[in-house]
């Protein structure tokens, strides 16, 4: 190999190394830029998830409140004759006794 060919070979080798390193730097910058974009998207998705969870909890709370209203028993006052009134009073007395004995 002649001296000119050797110098050409060495310079081309250095040129290829420099180009490869420069391309690696560009790739690294594009990768970190992509990571930043993904981190931004992840933070947006986390915020949306938190907001949706808060909305779901509010709906659950509201449905529990509505269920408790449905489970609430309303007494309808109707006039009772004497016999029905005695039966009702006896049932109420038995309920009170049962509660005191912790049967209910």
Q: What angle do CA 26, 45, 58 make, to 5 degrees?
A: 170
Domain carrying residue 83: 3-100
**Which stretches of 1-104 are DSSP H helices?**
3-71, 82-100
Asked if pLDDT for residue 1 goes beyond 60, the answer is no
Q: How far apart are the first and last CA of the chain?
A: 107
Asked if pLDDT for residue 38 goes beyond 60, the answer is yes
pTM of the model: 0.37
Domain tally, the chain: 1
């Amino acid at each position: 190999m002649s001296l000119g060919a050797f110098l050409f070979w060495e310079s081309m080798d250095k040129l290829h190394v420099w180009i490869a390193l420069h391309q690696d730097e560009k790739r690294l910058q594009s990768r970190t830029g992509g990571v930043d974009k993904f981190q931004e998207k992840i933070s947006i998705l986390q915020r949306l998830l938190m907001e949706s969870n808060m909305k779901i909890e509010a709906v659950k709370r509201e449905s529990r409140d509505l269920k408790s209203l449905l489970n609430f028993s309303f007494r309808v006052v109707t006039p009772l004759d004497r016999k029905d009134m005695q039966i009702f009073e006896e049932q109420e007395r038995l309920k009170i006794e049962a509660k005191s004995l912790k049967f209910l």
